[in-house]
Chain A
Amino acid sequence: MLHGLRTPNKTQLRTDQPICQPFVPPAVGARSGELSVARGQIGVNYTQPPTVPHRSRRRGNEALTSPPRTPDPTTASLPSAVPNHRTASASLAPPARGEGCGEGSQTLVPLHLLFRRFVTCSKSLGKPAAGPLRYPILFAILPACLGLSLSAAEVDESKLPPPASVTIDFSRDIKPILENSCFRCHGPEKPRSNFRLDNRDAALRGGDNGVDILPGNSAKSPLIHYVAHLVPDMEMPPLGKGDPLTADQISLLRAWIDQGVAWETVEPVSPLEFSLSPTLRLISVSGDNQKFREHYWQKEGVNGGVEQFDWHRQLTPDSGLTASGHVLQNDYQLRLALEKNEIGFIRAGWEQYRKYYDNTGGYYPLFTPSTFNLDRDLFLDDGRAWVDFGLTLPNWPQMVFGYEYQYRKGDQSTLQWGDVVQAGIDRKIAPASEHLDEHVHIIKFDLEHEISGVRIEDSFRGEFYSLSTRRTNILFSPFVGSFQTDDNREGYRHFQGANSFRLEKQFNDWLFASGGYFYSQLNADASFTVNTFNVSGPLLPVQRWSSQQVTLERESHILNLNMLLGPWDGLTLSSGVQSEWTREKGFGNDNLDDIIFPGNFFFASPVMMFTDLDKAQVEENVALRYTKIPFTALFAEVKLQQESLGQFEEQVGGFSEFLRDTDFDRQSYDMRVGFNTSPWTWVSLSAHYRRYDNESRYNNTRDEAPIGFPGFGYSAFIRSRSLLTDEVETKAVFRPLRWLKTTLSYQLVSTDYHTATDPVPGGITSGSQILAGTYDSHIYTLSTTLTPWQRLYLSTTFSYQDSATITANNGATAIVPYRGDIYTALASGTYVLSQASDLILAYSFSYGDFSQGNFVDGLPLGLRYQQHGLQVGITRRIAKNFTTQLQYGYFYYNEPSSGGANNYSAHAIFGTFTYRFP
């Protein structure tokens, strides 16, 4: 499918979750007889039980979600008031899930489970599972756990609702309860206390704290005690994690356990699932087919392939093998994953796509022929292959070791155009290209772990990079009076090691802090050759610049600290500071030899080049958000930067010797204030104002050009630069009807550029400051989403931008303002034609006009174009597993500013067939 032609997913009607009546155990603080209306439940004698606060491993998060609670005096002061009727032999109740052995643990635990509990306790204290400290800590904890267990009260089973007197159907009666109330914490992903309730084996096995389900004996099953809230501090779901189960639900769970814990009675899911979507495409282009390729990232003609394939095999309940991807013309993707819960994964893949380029160069209306063509296809293949090995063992650091290979190879068009001379007029419009060969080998290591609430992240990248380029340009030599070929070759390779280390911790409800350190070291060597050949006569190099000895180094240290405070009465404050120190050095031992015409005088010109940059930068940011005003958020942010840089550059030898020593410093701020409000259900309003101010100063302590022709020496002539941006953005979202949403937005951006330069002798410039340029832009966007019927979805977006860039050209007629408009319109829709068929529509349009009239004195580079893309199609499910899709597309591009050389129109037909199993 071509871009701009995406259609929304089509799905079935929603279903709402049933509202259940919660069960409140009388022993745990319920005051029966009270009438309350809460959570949408009406006429229920119900009051939220004042549960003992539930402690989670994610304490900060839990605390944020839990309202203040007053301990019930009947349970807080008299823990033994909760009777314990469990015997030592039958009581298998563990402490609360993931809770360790705190003061709330009040159940009897058999000895063989106590050891597990010690390990849990030690882990909850942040100690590793192994190590010299392990056993002393365990033995320190042991008496406490034993004491608490021995003093625990028994559960009063008489307060349990009776088992339901029905034959349990797992899918009908139990599965919805587990999905709504249990899977949130005890699903297959990161199960709390390693206790899972998504399959029978895991449920019966229990978790870190022992067995929770005793088949045939629901009254003794800890799971029932927990959901019935008979065990303080172990209520399930914990407060804030879901509504308590109703008495009916507990009765069903009891019956389910008493009847043997039957699991899924429906046909088990097939271990094998796959889908395959072969496609056939026919694209016919008339006009500039290379421009079409560049715009739509694909080639014309007949081609086919597999638009998407997905294959998944469930090897065990905990492990699976997955393959997915697509195979199209010059666009491939293959992803493989072998994953096992709580063990790890192996993920590998390869993907490559092709970026196409047009090769028509520039256009000049006075010339004939008006356009030029390299007469060959230009494209870059961009790809990567990778393999990652991940460890996801519970309570262990999550680690990923990986290797990745990235590459780009091919020929791309460049904007370094060559000469075309006609009637004595020379314009640089001849197309040019560059051959690029880029390879990157990356070694990766990532680690994540949490110790005592401190989250640790480390990421290392070792990168071997190599680059080879070759660019050829056509040059016209006024001295020789003929065209020449300029051949530029460059080689570069580096190794860069970079490591990022980060710590973060949620200290309490209102304080989160993080910090990190980044270090990188880059060592590179480079080479180049620049040869100019006289193509009209004998092959004679007229310029021979080369070096095989360029070395570069870069080293960075970055320290970062952040803090997030609040919310305090609706106020949230976040702040950060980052300091960077970077040192960069470069050295080149070059030959900049020239042969000067006429006479073929050869000038050998060995030179040495040096550079040394020493940069220090500090960045601070502060952001405030206030949400106390109803339905409204106010925000204010500011980012400050201070940078100082010592820059030394020198060239020794050659025609343009120079030495520069500059102290550079820069201060900037980027502030933004605004609001977002939604006072009524049908409207949302937001706006912000932003100001960005960037002030740069160059103190050129040494700026020397001792020899050479006037103007050949390097002139570090800029003294200061200032960039000031004002931005206003507003957005209004209206939803007057359930099926209609409209968004209006407006953005204004205005930037002034000021530059001050050194005075230049001869009256060239006095050296004062100048308003070098201005940029002004207005963007208006209107977007509408319509769903008037459940079978129709329609989305449209219209955007208009006018912008102007005007620079101080001192009346030079070659430079005119870059000013123009861009219109963009997008529309997409889906209509459900029948139970088996959908109609889809997508349309995109853009028009831009930045055309310029300076074709006599300059090169009019401003673009004017018009682009349409229309696609209609039908999707039909012809059988349970078979779907077909047929689409037609029409694409049109017109570019008068290039004399029509880039125009095209295209027709496309796509047919796709999808088979899904099962």
Chain B
Amino acid sequence: MRIVKKCRWWVGLAVLSVAGALCALVSSCSTTSRTVMAPPQIEGATFVGDKVCADCHAPISHVFPASPHARLHLDHSQMAGQQGCESCHGPGSKHVAAGGGRGKFIVNPGKDPEACFACHQEIQAQFHLPQHHPVIEGKMNCVQCHDPHGADIMKPAGGLAMARLNQTCAQCHREQSRPFIFEHEALREGCTVCHNPHGSINPKLLVQRDSNLCLKCHAQMQGPGTGGVGHLFIGQVDHTDLLRFGSCWSAGCHTAVHGSNVHPRMFY
């Protein structure tokens, strides 16, 4: 009985699969002219080549060879759909025939991340972790943070060609990126030292959920005056018992992790 209960899930799945396969088999006898297409495919369109795109999108085509995405731009590449503008934006013949225009027969990865996920599957997986920026929900998109055509892909499009420190995150997270009397120097190395911006299993997109997050920078050599093995000093302060309460920031001490106007140790 226990085995039956244990296998119930799999049996159900198997039955569903067989039923689905049978339905597909039966329905396949019917004829239909329709084809399923996934982005960046475009109904009825054919490839026209980068030179055609450059006619109207010259500013992009000028700078694109400096983009990290241009690494994949293999002239005469053997695998179809791997090269050039149309590998992300879809075949452009209908867009050209329509005389161009915003969103006219062209894939805009800025509105739908599926074109990006076609290559960045590991990032797609991260967006399906419990905590993530709402990209797959359609409330954000990849190009809000990444310039797919410019020399520096780790910044939004526009402005200078190279990113400023924390520029991408600061455009929304002003509360954390504003100046403080006492800054947390970790921000000089960028937000991604502590956060995984695509997705994480941890709240606030943290890369670690416990004090290891802080100790990887703040651990120090312990001396004989610290009480020996099992004791942990940080700076001049014995943290051995304090760390039992929880993490450095969740235990009520260094709560102002992005900076403080009150205390140099990020209290309050």
Give the residues in chain A near B164, CB-CB below 8 Å: 518, 556, 558, 580
Decide if B74 touches A810 in the complex (CB within 8 Å).
no
Chain B proximity mask over A208-242: 1 for CB below 8 Å, otherwise 0: 00000000000000000000000000000000110
Within 8 A of A (CB), among B164-214: 164, 174-175, 178-183, 185, 188-189, 201-204, 207-213
Set A3, A10, A492, A678: member contacting B136, Cβ < 8 A:
A3
Given A17-B93, A179-B97, A858-B243: A865 touches B264 (CB 8 Å cut-off): no
Given A680-B78, A859-B245, A865-B130: A8 touches B39 (CB 8 Å cut-off): yes
Give the residues in chain A near B142, CB-CB below 8 Å: none
A756 CB to nearest B CB, Å: 8
Decide if A500 touches B160 in the complex (CB within 8 Å).
yes
Given A811-B229, A832-B34, A832-B36: A633 touches B71 (CB 8 Å cut-off): yes
The stretch among A108-116, A369-377, A422-430 that forms the contact with chain B is A422-430
Decide if B128 touches A824 in the complex (CB within 8 Å).
yes
Decide if A16 touches B36 in the complex (CB within 8 Å).
no
The complex places the Cα of A419 from the Cα of B242 at a distance, in Å, of 12
Chain A residues touching B, majority SS: strand
Given A416-B252, A562-B151, A755-B220: A61 touches B235 (CB 8 Å cut-off): no
Chain A proximity mask over B29-58: 1 for CB below 8 Å, otherwise 0: 010111111110111111000011011101
B31 CB to nearest A CB, Å: 8
Query: Does residue B2 face the partner (Cβ distance < 8 Å to A)?
Result: no
Set A572, A660, A770: member contacting B219, Cβ < 8 A:
A770
Set A554, A765, A867: member contacting B130, Cβ < 8 A:
A867
Set B42, B77, B201, B262: member contacting A528, Cβ < 8 A:
B262
Given A633-B73, A715-B236, A805-B212: A10 touches B249 (CB 8 Å cut-off): no
Question: Can you list 28 A-B contacts (CB < 8 A)?
Answer: A8-B37, A12-B43, A58-B55, A61-B62, A64-B51, A179-B96, A183-B99, A183-B100, A190-B56, A429-B246, A502-B160, A504-B62, A512-B65, A516-B159, A518-B160, A545-B262, A552-B181, A564-B62, A613-B183, A625-B70, A658-B264, A681-B78, A715-B236, A762-B225, A793-B36, A812-B232, A814-B232, A852-B210
Residue with the highest number of chain B CB atoms closer than 10 Å, among A294, A355, A418, A514:
A514
Decide if A465 touches B174 in the complex (CB within 8 Å).
yes
Give the residues in chain A near B182, CB-CB below 8 Å: 609, 611, 649
Chain B residues touching A, majority SS: loop
Decide if B232 touches A810 in the complex (CB within 8 Å).
yes
Query: Does residue B144 face the partner (Cβ distance < 8 Å to A)?
Result: no
Chain A proximity mask over B97-119: 1 for CB below 8 Å, otherwise 0: 11111000000000000100000
Decide if A858 touches B221 in the complex (CB within 8 Å).
no
How many chain A residues touch B (Cβ–Cβ < 8 Å)? Answer: 218
Query: Does residue B216 face the partner (Cβ distance < 8 Å to A)?
Result: yes
Query: Does residue A834 face the partner (Cβ distance < 8 Å to B)?
Result: yes
Query: Does residue A15 face the partner (Cβ distance < 8 Å to B)?
Result: yes
Chain B proximity mask over A587-611: 1 for CB below 8 Å, otherwise 0: 1101010000000000000000111
Give the residues in chain B near A64, CB-CB below 8 Å: 51, 54
The complex places the Cα of A338 from the Cα of B140 at a distance, in Å, of 24
- Nearest CB to that of B50 among chain A residues? A65
Query: Does residue A459 face the partner (Cβ distance < 8 Å to B)?
Result: yes
The complex places the Cα of A6 from the Cα of B45 at a distance, in Å, of 23
How many chain B residues touch A (Cβ–Cβ < 8 Å)? Answer: 130
The complex places the Cα of A793 from the Cα of B178 at a distance, in Å, of 47
The stretch among A124-132, A147-155, A780-788 that forms the contact with chain B is A780-788
Set A61, A188, A678, A735: member contacting B54, Cβ < 8 A:
A61
Q: Total A-B residue pairs with C-beta atoms closer than 8 Å? A: 510
Query: Does residue B129 face the partner (Cβ distance < 8 Å to A)?
Result: yes
Within 8 A of B (CB), among A156-201: 179-180, 183-190, 196, 198
Within 8 A of B (CB), among A746-766: 747, 753, 755, 757, 760, 762-766
Query: Does residue B61 face the partner (Cβ distance < 8 Å to A)?
Result: yes
Give the residues in chain A near B33, CB-CB below 8 Å: 12-13, 835
Decide if A418 touches B252 in the complex (CB within 8 Å).
yes
Query: Does residue A574 face the partner (Cβ distance < 8 Å to B)?
Result: yes
The complex places the Cα of A488 from the Cα of B86 at a distance, in Å, of 53
- Nearest CB to that of A684 among chain B residues? B79
Give the residues in chain B near A436, CB-CB below 8 Å: 175
The complex places the Cα of A718 from the Cα of B189 at a distance, in Å, of 15
- Nearest CB to that of B127 among chain A residues? A3
Chain A proximity mask over B223-263: 1 for CB below 8 Å, otherwise 0: 11110011111011100100111110111100100000111
Inter-chain pairs besides A576-B151, A781-B121, A846-B125, 17 sampled, C-beta below 8 Å: A14-B35, A61-B62, A183-B96, A186-B99, A187-B100, A427-B245, A438-B174, A530-B268, A649-B181, A770-B219, A772-B218, A783-B121, A808-B219, A809-B219, A824-B125, A859-B251, A863-B202
Within 8 A of B (CB), among A435-483: 436, 438, 440, 455, 457, 459, 465, 467, 469, 473, 475
Give the residues in chain A near B230, CB-CB below 8 Å: 810-813
The complex places the Cα of A297 from the Cα of B59 at a distance, in Å, of 38
Give the residues in chain A near B6, CB-CB below 8 Å: none
Set A60, A747, A806, A818: member contacting B62, Cβ < 8 A:
A60
Chain B proximity mask over A696-729: 1 for CB below 8 Å, otherwise 0: 0000000000000011001101100101000000
Chain A proximity mask over B120-135: 1 for CB below 8 Å, otherwise 0: 0110111111100010
Give the residues in chain A near B201, CB-CB below 8 Å: 822, 846, 848, 850, 863, 865
